[in-house]
Structure 1
Amino acid sequence: MKIATFNINNINRRLPNLLAWMRTAKPDVVALQELKASDGEFPAAAIEKSGYGAVWCGQKTWNGVAILARNAEPVLTRDRLPGKPADHEARYIEAAVRGVIVTSIYLPNGNPQPGPKFDYKLDWFARLKRHARTLIKQDLPVVLAGDYNVAPDEIDIYPTRSWDKDALIQPKSRAAFASLVAQGWCDAIRELHPEKRIYTFWDYKRNRWPRDAGLRLDHLLLSPALVSRLAKAGVDKKVRGEEGASDHAPAWVVLR
C-alpha cells in the first residue's frame, strides 16, 4: 500500500501535474495540502475520472486539504482538528482507506516569528499532539501525513544560515515535532534513511531548486501498529523540476 503526501500549492492550477504524477507513481492514497480552492472549486470530476475517490475540506484562496484513494472511496472520519471549534482554517482532514487511518495535515507556517502567527503554529501543534495521543492510545493503524512546516533537524535543511530566523526551524517548532514523534510515532523517511539529506520543498526564490537548496517539511509518521509494515519511503524529487510545478515534491511510504 503506497501512501503519499503532496503540498500541491493550488490544485486547479497544478491539476495536470498532479494527474500526470498519479498516473506514473500510482499511489494508493494521496494526502494533499494547500488546495487553495473552496469546496465547490475542488476538481472532483477530474479526480474521479483519474480513478480516485476523494474527500476534501476546501477554503478559498488559502489552505485546503484532501485525501484521495485509488479505486476506492475514502471514509471521512474527521474534517477539523479538535480542540478549538472557532478555528475554521482548512488544515486537517482524516479518512479511513483500506483499514488504515490517513490524515492530511497542513500545519501553520508561523512566520513572522515571534508574533501571533507563530503562537498560532505552536497552539495548533499542541492540539495535533493531543489528538495524535488519542489515536496512539486506541492502537489504530494511522499515518499522520502532511506538510508540517517544520524541518526537524539540521540534516533536513541545506547548509545555510539564511533561514535562522524562520519559523520552520525554530527550536520551539522542532521541539514540538520531536515531542509528537516521542509519543511513539515513526518518521518513516528518517527511519529508512537516517543519514541522508532528503528534501521535499524548494522555495521558488533565489534559484533554490537548481541549487538543491531544499528543506524536508513534508512527513509521514506511522503509528506503532504500522511500523512493522514499513517497506519503503522516499520523495519523487523530479516532480519539483517539471514545468508549472509546486514548490513541494511528493513524499511517500510503501506498507507491506
Structure 2
Amino acid sequence: MLLLQEVKIARKDSKTQDAVRAAINASTSSKSSEPTYEAHFTLPNDPHNAKGPRGSGKVYGVCSILRSDLHSKFNINVRTVNWDSEGRISVVELSTPEAKVAVFNIYAVNGTDNPYRDPKTGVQKGTRHDRKLTVHKLLAEECKTLEEAGWQILLGGDMNVAPDARDGYPKLRTFPMQHTLNRSDFHSELLQGKDNSKQGFGGIDIWRQHHGDERRYTYYSRGREWGTSCDRVDYFIAGRKLWDANMVTESGILDSEAERGPSDHVPIWVDIAFPPSSAET
C-alpha cells in the first residue's frame, strides 16, 4: 500500500486521475505475473477553502494506492470522513476473520492566520489555525469510535506537526506562538499526551518509539541547502490496540536527496503484520 499526500488533482479532472492509474500499472517487463495496482483518490470538494490556483481545484488531495491482489486476502473498503471536504483524509479498511485495521492516509491542515470558511455558506469561521485544532479533535474522535467498534488504527502521512525538539533542525519551530499551541493540542488529542490525559486517542509515534532519540527528518526545504533546514512532520501513529497486538514490526525514513525527488518531503515506511493465519502487509 502506498499513501500519497498533496496530489493536487482537481476532483473533476478524470484525465489526470486515469493517467495516474495507467502509470502505476505501466511495466517494462513481459512477465504477466507482475502485480497490478488500483488508485483511490480523495480530492477537494470545498469551493471556499480549497479553490486552488485560479479556482482550478488543484490543491491538497490524497491518493491511496493498493495492490489489487490484496482483495484476495482482505475485505477492503476505502472511504473518506464526513467532516472533511478538502480532500485531506482517506481511510482504507482491511479486515480478516482475525483482525480489522483502518489505515488513515492524512494530509493534515497547515495552521496559518488565513481565514477558514464554512464549506457550505462561505462564512468565515475563524482561521486555519482554528480549523487545524478542530481537525485534531475530530480525527481523535473518529479513531476512538473505530477502536470501540473493534478496529485497530494506523495513521500515516504529513501531519504538519513536528512532535518535539528532536524533530526540528536547526531548531523546532516555536514562532509564532500558535505553532506551540497547535503542537500541544496535537499531543493531547492524538498522541499519548504530555499530561498523560486519557481524553485523547493516545496514539504512539511509531518511528520515535523504534528509534529513540535519533534525529532524522522528512521535510527538507527546497529553498535551502540540503540538511540545513528540516523537520520530521511525516510519520505513522499506531493506536494502542494495534501496538499492543505486536502488529507493528519495523519503520524507517528514506532521507536522501535522491529519494526526495521533485518534492520537499522524503518517503517513510512501516511494516504491519496481521496475525499468522492471515496476511502480512
Partner SS for 2:69: coil
Structure 2 match to 1:30: 2
What CA distance in whole angstroms lies between the structure 2 residues aligned with 1:178 and 1:243? 27
Could you say if the C-alpha distance between residues 242 and 187 of structure 1 is closer, same or farther in structure 2, counting changes exceeding 3 Å? Answer: closer
1:140-177 Cα deviation digits (max 9, x unpaired) = 1221111110001010111337x33258x822221222
For residues 102-121 of structure 1, the aligned pairs below 5 Å read 102-112=103-113, 116-121=127-132
2:236 maps to which of 220, 223, 239? 220
Is it true that 1:176 corresponds to 2:161 in the alignment?
A: no
Is it true that 1:92 corresponds to 2:108 in the alignment?
A: no
What CA distance in whole angstroms lies between the structure 2 residues aligned with 1:33 and 1:196? 25
What CA distance in whole angstroms lies between the structure 2 residues aligned with 1:242 and 1:106? 19
For residues 1-256 of structure 1, the aligned pairs below 5 Å read 29-39=1-11, 40=14, 41-42=16-17, 43-49=20-26, 51-59=36-44, 60-72=57-69, 75-80=76-81, 82=82, 84=83, 87-97=84-94, 99=96, 100-112=101-113, 116-160=127-171, 163-165=173-175, 170-179=179-188, 180-182=190-192, 183-207=201-225, 209-211=226-228, 213-227=229-243, 228-238=246-256, 240-241=257-258, 244-256=261-273
Q: Which amino acid aligns with 1:47?
A: I
Deviation, 1:34, is 0.1
Unaligned runs of 5+ in 2: 28-35, 45-56, 116-125, 193-200, 274-281
Q: Percent identity?
A: 31
What is the TM-score normalised by the length of structure 1? 0.76
What CA distance in whole angstroms lies between the structure 1 residues aligned with 2:159 and 2:212? 19
Structure index of larger Rg: 2
With 37-46 and 240-249 compared, the bigger mean Cα shift is at: 240-249
Could you say if the C-alpha distance between residues 97 and 54 of structure 1 is closer, same or farther in structure 2, counting changes exceeding 3 Å? Answer: farther
Deviation, 1:219, is 1.6
What CA distance in whole angstroms lies between the structure 2 residues aligned with 1:172 and 1:147? 18
1:169-199 Cα deviation digits (max 9, x unpaired) = 8222212221212223221101101211121
What CA distance in whole angstroms lies between the structure 1 residues aligned with 2:210 and 2:107? 24
Q: Which amino acid aligns with 2:91?
A: E
Partner SS for 1:170: helix
Unaligned runs of 5+ in 1: 1-28
What CA distance in whole angstroms lies between the structure 1 residues aligned with 2:134 and 2:170? 29
How many residue pairs align between the two structures? 219
1:60-112 Cα deviation digits (max 9, x unpaired) = 321011111224367334223x3x4xx52111110124653211111111124
Partner SS for 1:204: coil
What CA distance in whole angstroms lies between the structure 2 residues aligned with 1:152 and 1:177? 8
CA RMSD of aligned residues (A): 2.5
What CA distance in whole angstroms lies between the structure 1 residues aligned with 2:271 and 2:134? 31
Could you say if the C-alpha distance between residues 230 and 116 of structure 1 is closer, same or farther in structure 2, counting changes exceeding 3 Å? Answer: same
Partner SS for 2:139: helix
Contact 2:143-2:153 at 8 Å conserved across structures: no
What CA distance in whole angstroms lies between the structure 2 residues aligned with 1:143 and 1:46? 27
Which structure has more relative contact order (CA 8 Å, sep 6+)? It is 1
